[in-house]
């Protein structure tokens, strides 16, 4: 079964790579390639940079095509830092009409700005659980000294008490070196 799954992932990636060569100006093809690279590529040696390249290409081809911005924001923060991620967030906010995603991107944008980080508490409190998840997802691999993703995961856990939020908080704590606290959270569950 595992070899069958790997075969299917390799086949999916090969098909989308071919589509990107056959239709190089189609943003949907580049977005789908980015999605496949992002979600399945690690099992085939695809890098975060290669995923970023596909999402970025989709946005370059059609800046009004909104779906690529979700992962592009997260990957830009990981690969290029908060300054460039803020720019992606601004472009995304200007183009999306989705309330939850737009609100989450606004909070992510604020948390990326050291001058606004302190005032983000009220914005966090106003987010829905889905919005809190989206902000945590955007920030989860960012290793800032303020530990923004830990703050967001804590707010999400306090708001919902859900297993997903608790796991996100434990992951955020562990990723930032707070192993005892992460272990204690998971041990309690």
Rounded to an integer, what distance in angstroms lies between the CA atom of residue 181 and that of residue 37?
33
Instruction: Indicate the burial class of 189 (C-beta count within 10 angstroms; 0-12, 13-18, 19 or more).
Output: exposed
Tens of pLDDT, residue by residue over 80-136, are 999 999 999 999 999 998 789 999 999 999 999 877 756 677 888 899 999 999 999
Across the range 179-187, mean pLDDT stands at: 90
What's the CA gap between 123 and 110, in Å, rounded? 9
Please, which pLDDT band fits residue 74 given cuts at 50, 70 and 90?
very high
Please provide the average confidence, as pLDDT, over all residues in the chain.
93
């Amino acid at each position: 079964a595992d070899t069958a799954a790997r075969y299917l992932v390799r086949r999916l990636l090969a098909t989308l790579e071919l589509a990107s060569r056959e239709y190089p100006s189609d943003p949907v093809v580049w977005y789908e390639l980015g999605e496949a690279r992002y979600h399945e590529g690690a099992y085939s040696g695809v890098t975060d940079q290669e995923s970023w390249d596909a999402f970025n290409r989709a946005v370059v081809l059609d800046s009004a095509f909104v779906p690529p911005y979700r992962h592009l924001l997260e990957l830009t923060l990981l690969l290029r830092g908060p300054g460039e991620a803020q720019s992606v967030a601004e472009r995304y906010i200007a183009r999306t009409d989705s309330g939850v995603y737009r609100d989450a991107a606004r909070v992510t944008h604020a948390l990326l700005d050291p001058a606004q980080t302190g005032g983000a508490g009220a914005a966090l409190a106003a987010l829905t659980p889905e919005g809190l998840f989206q902000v945590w997802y955007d920030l989860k691999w960012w290793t800032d000294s303020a530990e923004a993703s830990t703050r967001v995961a804590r707010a999400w856990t306090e708001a919902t008490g859900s297993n997903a939020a608790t796991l996100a908080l434990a992951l955020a704590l562990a990723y930032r070196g707070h192993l005892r606290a992460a272990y204690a959270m998971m041990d309690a569950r």
